[in-house]
A and B are shown apart, each in its own frame.
Chain A
């Protein structure tokens, strides 16, 4: 019964967000797209984090997806929609190849290597002048769906739904057990027969594909990309902050964090035009200092305490 209730709520929530364009204008839809993009990146970052591996490569793969999609359209004459799928596949392929080298690294060595990858991708795109447009980047001849706001919104929502779906699969399948076992104690996980490299590779390739796909959706929605915009550190820092705010090691935590921070950012901007970024930064610092488990962790703890108190009363 409990499970059924959950499914009904998920379907209802999905129906509401799908119907947003019916009652929201172009501006809120634009803000929603931005929130959804960061949300998908936050979830995908968290998916790999569930194995204990902290990746700083989100912006690199996001940027790689942007360029793969833009160049597929410009140089290869590919259909823009197909280029989104191509970008996801390309990011996955790159991650698969790199995975053999970098997934043998752990802790800060892995993190630093993924951060370096972002910089390498940026430098490569910046220096392939004739192919990638160099520092000035490339401008697409037209925006996907001719810039029609509801269609752009649904495209981004599609990318988000796919990310949530994969994340939930990670939570509900044996991937969850494997990744949690790796995070808790790699040695005992291996001695229990968990193929550590295989699961890490699957997680790295899947999350890279999702990040590349979101980069492609972004470039097709705005019609241009440059090394500075595609590999912007904001696509790394904000998703991490959102996941930490909402609560890590879950799907719903990064979702909550993205909605809260995304809307807070826009609201603060309108209310405090000069200085909103300072307030926004202070909020993030305070939350991370005083709520290290995030909102979802806090809620979980409160529920556990209530349950314990109820049991004691009985």
Chain B
């Protein structure tokens, strides 16, 4: 009988109690809050909500942001969508970072057809899973193939503008996991096709995953004598790889890193000088964009810390884009807001105007390019695209002293 009571108690515990609230225009956000991208992304979205509310809200109503942590897990991300839509009754969904989580969320998103402003999910697999009918899906972040194409375009334009910059041989050092392997496949396809560039590469075990010895990979790279040395790994690899490159006197003409995030304080290391990187935003954009400055100052004032990831201005933009569309539509009704979103022309803090056009499959793709940046005197400077440029590139990467 005691066992019986225990079973009934377990079942009773399994019935959760869920509350509801109402009265405002509700924005449901899912981000990985344990990761800096999601943490700062959600903080920036809250900053935008507070700014809009302080200015009187939208259509006389206040905005309310409800954030649920997706924990970088597909099942948790899907549960978060179910909660936000069915329990909190949000008007719009936004956020996201990892493609794996987005893939898990898509079935639930399709079921409800709520407007989604996605700040992450770069994998083309996500676009395939969405299909061409998902007219409620507005993807702000560039797809992986958009990013690859923009890098190719960026290097073409840089070579045209600066005659000293000449790239023929590209070497990609990639971490041996999914992220690195995908980068290698994309680089081979994009730069290796047609014989315009000579592409080679080697893998390494990331320091983030128990590795950290880049010796053999750097030897292969040094032997190859690349014009552009590009590494795809994690923030933990940034400084040790530079240390080992310095020890080996490996000085490619361009040393470029493409981790999802950089280690805190990387810019203060002397080794960082003239290292290039791919990204979407840097505090230096404040000099060329008033919206960026407004966002940056507001973030620092509110949270007493600097935004360290482009997911912050991207998420901030998502809130403003939705708010502007609701204002234009005069309602939160889905079809009217979709129509208004299609007319978006938002001068974002990323230093570019966001509007939505078709990509390979979906109808509403926002940003299609990344930026090429360079660490100069401890600051991330934008060197391409030229309309957001904050400094000229320092080329070639200086010899080690």
Contact = CB atoms under 8 A, between A and B. Distances in A.
A198 B182 CA distance: 44
A24 interface: yes
A30 B79 contact: yes
Contacts of A222: 74-75, 78, 103-104, 107
A279 interface: no
Contacts of A227: 178
Interface in A14-64: 16-17, 20, 24-35, 37
Contact of A9 (B7, B86, B111): B7
A229 interface: yes
Given A136-B125, A222-B78, A226-B100, A277 B6 contact: no
A122 B111 CA distance: 31
Contact of B125 (A5, A25, A139, A263): A139
Interface residues of B, number: 53
B39 to A, nearest CB: 7
B78 A139 contact: no
Contact of B86 (A27, A126, A269, A299): A27
B305 to A, nearest CB: 13
B125 A9 contact: no
B128 interface: yes
A260 B83 CA distance: 20
A263 B16 contact: yes
B13 A263 contact: yes
Chain A interface size range? 35 or more
A188 interface: no
A105 interface: no
Nearest to A138: B125
Given A13-B7, A229-B100, A277 B87 contact: no
Interface in B65-120: 67-69, 71, 73-76, 78-79, 82-83, 85-87, 100, 103-104, 106-108, 110-111
Nearest to A269: B69
A71 B41 CA distance: 36
A93 interface: no
B72 to A, nearest CB: 9
Contacts of B13: 259-260, 263
Nearest to A29: B82
Nearest to B77: A222
Contacts of B16: 28, 31, 263, 266-267
Contacts of A267: 16
Nearest to A1: B1
A34 B11 contact: no
Contact of A26 (B6, B82, B129, B182): B82
Given A30-B79, A136-B125, A9 B8 contact: yes
A147 interface: yes
B10 interface: yes
A224 interface: yes
Contact of B178 (A16, A24, A135): A135
A13 to B, nearest CB: 5
Determine which residue in A13, A228, A232, A234 has the highest number of CB atoms from chain B within 10 A of its CB, and name it.
Answer: A13
Contacts of B76: 34, 269
A12 B178 contact: no
Given A27-B79, A259-B14, A10 B4 contact: yes
A76 B75 CA distance: 26
Interface in B223-257: none
Interface of B: 1-8, 10-11, 13-16, 18, 33-34, 39, 42, 67-69, 71, 73-76, 78-79, 82-83, 85-87, 100, 103-104, 106-108, 110-111, 123-125, 128-129, 177-179, 181-182, 185
23 contacts: A6-B4, A25-B86, A25-B87, A27-B18, A27-B86, A28-B15, A28-B18, A30-B79, A30-B82, A31-B79, A34-B75, A35-B14, A134-B182, A134-B185, A136-B125, A222-B74, A224-B129, A269-B68, A269-B69, A269-B71, A273-B68, A274-B39, A276-B69
